[in-house]
Each structure stands twice: as C-alpha cells, then as structure tokens.
Structure 1
C-alpha cells in the first residue's frame, strides 16, 4: 500500500509549550532583552539626510504586501521592520536605496523564521522590485545589514510577548483564537507606522491585546473593565499605566480612522474577525505621494511601485 505524505505542502508548527509560558523567568528575560533591539526614535533627525518617515512607511507597506502574497509567518514582517529601523538608526541611506534595504531585511527575516520550503528567495524578491535591483546588489546589501546589526538578528518583537501575556490574564469565557488574530493584526499595523517605534514591543503587545478584548466586547460581557485590564497588563509588564493608555488610544484611533484591511492579510497572520474588523492606517503609495509635490515624494512613489534604482555604494558609513 502506498502512503502519501503532503507535509511539504503546508507549514507544520509546534504547539505552545505550557511550561515555558508559565515560567516567569522567560517573560522576565524578554522584558530585560527587548530594549537591546529597540531602534532609535530620532534617527530621521540625527542620522538620515534624504529619507522621511513617510518614505519609510511606504516601504513598510510594500514589505507587508510581499509577506502576505508569499504567506510568510507573522514574525517575518515584524523582524524585517525591526531590522529596517535598526539599520536606519545607525547608517544613513539615500532614498534610492531604501527599497533595496527593505528587500534585504525581508530576505534575512525569512531565513531566520520561515520554514525551508517557503523561504523568500533572493531571485523572488528581485522580481518583486520589478528587477530594479540585481541579485548581486541584494546579496551585497544583505551582508551590509548583517554587519551594521552586528549579526544580532534574533530580536524580541511584540509577537513574542503575546502568548505570555494571554497566559497571565484572567480571560474567562473568551475566544482566545479571535483575540490572538486581532492582536496579530494590530501589531502588524503598528509595525507599518513609524510613530509606534517609540513604544517597546511589550507595550505594543499589551495595548494590542487590550484593543482586541475591548473591540470584541469582552470587557463588557465579563464585567472586567478596561481600566482593570490595563492594571493587570501594567502589573505583568511593569510598564507605566499612562504609556499603555496612550499606546492603546493611538491603536484605536488608527483603527477607527481608516478602511478595513483586506481578507488576504490573513495569509500573513494579519487576520480579521467579523465582530471587529481590523483596519489599515496607511494610504496607498499613489495617495501618499500625490499629497506632496516634492522630489522626495516622487521618488518614493516609484519605490511604492517597486521600481526604485539602487546603488549599494551610495551608503554613507
């Protein structure tokens, strides 16, 4: 009898280890380590000379689209944007190289977190840039990113905190799967927006969980108020309550101001639920660039279309 195996057609992931989730030492280690991988929040004023936060956000949009179309795990996009911001914090980049940088970050993040049969290959990413970069340029820039990040790629992201926070919250009669899906969506949307770089990953994860529970109506049905929920998250993460409240307000403001995210985002862990559809806060590349007539905006319009020329030697060391 022939046995057929189709494991190579789908991604198999391990179950969460309850021993690790319940061990406070693991969470404490994440909280101690997260600042080490947090980018500078002022690099557009102190390091970058040509690019702006709007340009960075448009490239982040493109990176998310690539992850969605190639069904990458949700960690890939978060890691890639972390590499992007950390590199921009230490190295000046001309606007013609910004998409090349984002492509190199995607390549590295996929190698670190994606399974072998669904990796983002260099040739595939070159095609996503409409062949505006070459294979050799991408590999050279990958090496440059590794050097500038000092090979420290296992960054702590907001996604790493989700299971630990959910394990410690008194969530009774709650659809944890829906909460995770919404929280993943909100975290991904935060990674697209530069203004959330000022928050630590634990703060974004905690605020995303609060936004998910509040949006799903759990705080009303359980009798556990939003204020009590924030107090619990404060106790778990040792984060100032005011910071959590401000981050939560910005997430909810972002969600209420824009249209729902496409259902296709579910392929990257950016999923929605009918009771509280997630939303995207970033306008399209056409809209973002049409609002400005500056040469920089015109260049980033080309980057949004994956047609930006690149030159690795233009990097200022």
Structure 2
C-alpha cells in the first residue's frame, strides 16, 4: 500500500526545467538561435494570398481561446506561442473554412504541449474546451494533417527562447524577478496580433524585455527616454539587430499593449500567471497580492470570446 501511495505521488509531481547558467552564458547558443529563427517566420500575409474565407478578427478570437486554455492548464510559456506558430504556418500553405479554425487551434495546442510539456494536454480536455464541437477522430486526423503540412518541422524558435539570454547579458537589476515574468506575459499577448507573426522572435523578445523593464522602473517613461535608449543600445550589441529596427518593433509592441488597456491601468499592471503566461495582475497598493488575476482588465472579452467554442468562426445552420 505504501508503494502505491508513493507511485501516485510521483504521478502528481511535475518537474520543471530550470535555467542553465552555462548555456545562457555561452554565446554560441544565442548565435545559433539568431541564425535559425527566421526559418519559421511568415514571409507574407496568408489572408491576402491563401485564405479566402478567414479574416484577421477570426484568428484573434481563436488565439484568445487558445491563450485561455493554456492559462487554465498552466502550460509552459512557449506552448502557446508554439501553437500559434503552427497554426499560422499551416494557414500560410493550406486554405480552410472558418468552421475548421478552432479545430486547427486545438490540434496545434495538442502538438505544442506534446513537444514541451511533461504532462501534455489530453485529447479529452481539448474536446471539452471546444464544447464538443470537435470529436476525437477529427483531432487525431488533423494532427497528422498539420504535421504533414509542416513537414514534421515543429521545433520552432519562439521569443521565450531569447528572454533568459537577453536578461543574462543586460545590465539591469533583479533580472529573474518581475521583469522576466512581465516579459513572458507581454510575449504571450503579442501572439494575439497577427502582424507580429511576421517579425523574428528575437525582435519580439527584445521589444517585450524593453517594455517590461520600463514597466518595472517607471511605466510613464516615454519611448524616447534615455533609459529606454540605453536598453535598446545594449540589446543591439547583444543581438546585432539594427537600433532603428529594434526601436520600431518596441514602439509597435508598446502601442499594441497600450491599446489593450487604458494607460492608467498599464502603469499599475504586471502581466503574470502561474505559467508566466498572459494573465494580468494589477496592484495599485503594496498590500494587494501580485498574482491577483484580472484578465479582463487587459483584454476586453465579450460573451462569445470565453473559453467555449467561438461562434464567430463557426458555420451556424438553423
């Protein structure tokens, strides 16, 4: 009986990898990431040349649903970005109907969690999250279809891969504290916006790290402040990306994040979650817990945008 309890305890315990300082300080690792990242970046908009029925707002609805699933299941931060990357890459080569978009999102979550999680999302959970609008056979058949269209190349580089490397090399205080968590949260939110799917992951990571540091030091600081300029200059030295390109990406990310919430709220919010992924915690007083979850503060959700099946991307037949 004692052995049985020990066995159950081992099943419930999940190990998470920690940052390896040797790998983080090795410049060859960062160089390999930078030289390989653009292989999985979109080169053009599939809404213009591939997809005739899908619209950008449909993608946003499904990616918000995918984010909610990852938050509720406490997935690793890069599971969500990987899943969105799979979905965008599939849509760039295969036209589909809007009624299949959530099925595609569920399949991409299925694949990404298998690659990154020690306990992947199960088919049963994903079917439940879609309010049973899909079935197991569809999920498994489309899993093979997506893998085939992606040519089984699913080890995409994500912005999350760069965060620790950048924070290790930046001259900032407490890099493993709230700045790192906030950067991961901002990266997750950027996946909601289609235009960022065409940006290299390193640029998204740099922009989100700058935004996170600015948020920690002084949220009211302008994008042209000396401190922001200094951080961008450091990132240029680290990544060898042109300063103006980094600044332009940061300004776009900053504008997008501010569009999700009023400036006063952005100034007092820290984007965190149990998986460092996308949930927003807002504290205006020091005695308010930093993990207070108010996702509706940053992303305004209507009733149809909850974690059920989005009706805007389904064919409804009466």
TM range (shorter): 0.7 to 0.9
2:101 is the alignment partner of 1:98: yes
Residues 164, 73 of structure 1: CA spacing in aligned structure 2 closer, same or farther, 3 A cutoff?
A: same
Residues 80, 70 of structure 1: CA spacing in aligned structure 2 closer, same or farther, 3 A cutoff?
A: same
* Residue segments in structure 1 that go unaligned for 5+ positions in a row: 289-301, 311-317
Instruction: Select which of 33, 37, 44 maps to 2:36.
Output: 33
Residues 83, 28 of structure 1: CA spacing in aligned structure 2 closer, same or farther, 3 A cutoff?
A: same
What's the Cα RMSD here? 3.1
Post-superposition shift, 1:7?
Answer: 4.6
> How many residues are matched?
292
2:231 is the alignment partner of 1:229: yes
What is the aligned partner in structure 2 of residue 247 from structure 1?
249
Give the Cα separation in 2 of the matches to 1:265 and 1:236.
26
Post-superposition shift, 1:10?
Answer: 4.0
CA contact (8 A) 1:132 1:307 kept: no
What is the aligned partner in structure 2 of residue 81 from structure 1?
84
Post-superposition shift, 1:102?
Answer: 0.4
* Residue segments in structure 2 that go unaligned for 5+ positions in a row: 285-289
Larger helix fraction of residues: 1
What is the aligned partner in structure 1 of residue 287 from structure 2?
none
Deviations 1:224-258 (A, max 9, x none): 71111101111211212222212212222223233
For residues 40-119 of structure 1, what are the structure 2 equivalents within 5 Å?
40-116=43-119, 119=120
Give the Cα separation in 1 of the matches to 2:271 and 2:161.
23
Give the Cα separation in 2 of the matches to 1:43 and 1:146.
19
CA contact (8 A) 1:69 1:267 kept: no
Of the two structures, which has the highest relative contact order with CA contacts closer than 8 Å and spacing of 6 or more?
1
